[in-house]
Chain A
Amino acid sequence: MPKITYIEHNGKEHQVEVPNGFSVMEGAVQNNIPGIDADCGGACACATCHVYVDEKWFDKLPKKDISEEDMLDTAFEPNKSSRLTCQITVTDELNGLVVKMPSKQG
């Protein structure tokens, strides 16, 4: 199973295994990792599952679609490495992915 590392804003790291086909958001929520709120349950409608993706990983991820880019406008302090974790599906290629949480989700 692919391993994903979630780093809280305070630097605390959580490495967990997330099954293929699940979203990176679900990986955090199901493992009770704080910092990803996911208020809309993964419907790309709340931007509270926002993370910053390590530069070396950003380009390896499937591209953002328009609805994710639109939703990121409303995220808390988005930048060019921002993604919404509910829109990233876990695959073997993402083994080792590292995401960082913003200071808050809103």
Chain B
Amino acid sequence: MIKTDVLVVGAGPVGLFVVHQLGIIGLKAEVVDNLDKIGGQCIELYPDKPIYDIPALPVCTGESLTNSLLEQIKPFKPNFHLNERVQEVTQDNNDWKIVTSKNKVFIAPNIIIAGGVGSFEPRKFGIENAEKFENESIFYSVKNKNDFKNKKVCIFGGGDSALDWAIELSKFSKVVLVHRRNEFRGAEHSAEIAKKLEKEGKLKIKTPYQLNSIEGEKKINAITIKNEIGEIEKIETDYVLGFFGLIMKLGPIAEWGLNLEKKTIPVNTKDFQTNKKGIFAIGDICTYPGKLKLILSGFHEGALAARGCFKIARPNETYRFEYTTTSKTVQERLGVKESD
């Protein structure tokens, strides 16, 4: 069990900056994100694209913004818990008890939800009975490639993950790579390797095909795939892997008793608290009259939410407004001034 002042849900730009705002007023934060990396949409959806509206930064990229934010919050040594979804939130006396998908437990008087449009989850097959085979015969990520050794594996998708795993697994498994069109969007180099392996008979490529049906009881025995003109082909296989990128799903956040408006959480604009005391929402996930889904708005929201957390985490102390330029206390926290 980990005790902290504030549990931050989401390591997007807004979740990162709020760690700074909490840090300078002396509050400690732990950050949980379902992604395997830090940076939210900026890193998952547009790491190389330019951003032109971060105040005082004429231009940066999704990746460079994330790196700068990480640099800025370094003095506060936040702990990141990646690859973990915040699953349950329940009242625990005056605190909140937070449980993650890896059963890690946090106790904190405050939660700041900076969950964006939801947690990034793999996109799945649409076929009705696909869910039944999930984690048995159907996978959306590879944890241990040896699980697929000497097996028949069908890989769906046209991006880097699909190509890379098709190439890798073809070394010791019978692999069929299936994609909805003839062009692959993954790295050209990988697509060339895959095509070369196909010529050498080490890999089968089926395009333009999509999954049509799944056969089997507990485990899959075979699948059929279908092309645009309706031709159907049967493939015997042990495993099916799908790599269709990620989608943002609100997921468990909807079950914490918070008011919701479409897929967002209404907050008051005084301290960005939700309908539950001690639970705040900032960034893309919050809504209020005039809300703009911009990074700069999220930064402001975080500054106010952090002060809201202070009142709850330090009920016997009085919050003091201080500038980073002139406050000795703040500068000590930032590690830029030696304490006497």
Query: A residues touching B (Cβ–Cβ < 8 Å)?
Result: 39-41, 43, 45-48, 69-70, 73-74, 76-80, 103, 105-106
Contact = CB atoms under 8 A, between A and B. Distances in A.
B185 interface: yes
Given A41-B293, A46-B247, A70-B185, A76 B46 contact: no
Interface string B232-259: 0000000000001101110000000000
B123 A43 contact: no
Interface residues of B, number: 22
Contacts of A46: 45, 247-248
Nearest to A104: B126
B159 interface: yes
B244 A74 contact: yes
Interface string B27-47: 000000000000001000110
B220 interface: no
Given A39-B117, A40-B41, A74 B181 contact: no
A79 B228 contact: yes
Interface of B: 41, 45-46, 117, 123, 126, 157-159, 179-181, 183, 185, 210, 228, 244-245, 247-249, 293
B45 A73 contact: no
A40 B41 CA distance: 9
Contacts of A80: 228
A48 B244 contact: no
A76 B123 contact: yes
Nearest to A105: B247
- Majority DSSP secondary structure for residues of A touching B: loop
Which of B45, B158, B247 is packed against the most chain A CB atoms within 10 Å? Answer: B247
A69 B123 contact: no
Contact of A69 (B117, B126, B181, B293): B181
Contacts of A106: 123, 247, 249
A45 B158 contact: no
Contact of A45 (B45, B180, B228, B249): B45
Nearest to B247: A106
Contacts of A69: 181, 183, 185
Contacts of A47: 245, 247
16 contacts: A39-B117, A39-B248, A40-B41, A41-B293, A43-B46, A46-B45, A47-B245, A48-B247, A70-B159, A70-B185, A73-B159, A73-B181, A74-B244, A74-B247, A105-B247, A106-B249
| The 10 residue pairs across chains A and B that have the minimum distance between CB atoms | A74-B245, A106-B247, A70-B185, A45-B45, A77-B126, A39-B117, A74-B244, A73-B158, A80-B228, A39-B248
B118 to A, nearest CB: 8
Contact of A73 (B126, B185, B247): B185
B180 to A, nearest CB: 6
Nearest to A102: B126
A74 B248 CA distance: 12
Given A45-B45, A69-B183, A103-B126, 14 more contacts: A39-B117, A45-B41, A46-B45, A47-B247, A70-B159, A73-B179, A73-B185, A73-B244, A74-B244, A77-B210, A80-B228, A105-B247, A106-B247, A106-B249
Nearest to A82: B180
A53 B245 CA distance: 23
Nearest to B211: A77
A73 B248 contact: no
A39 B123 CA distance: 14
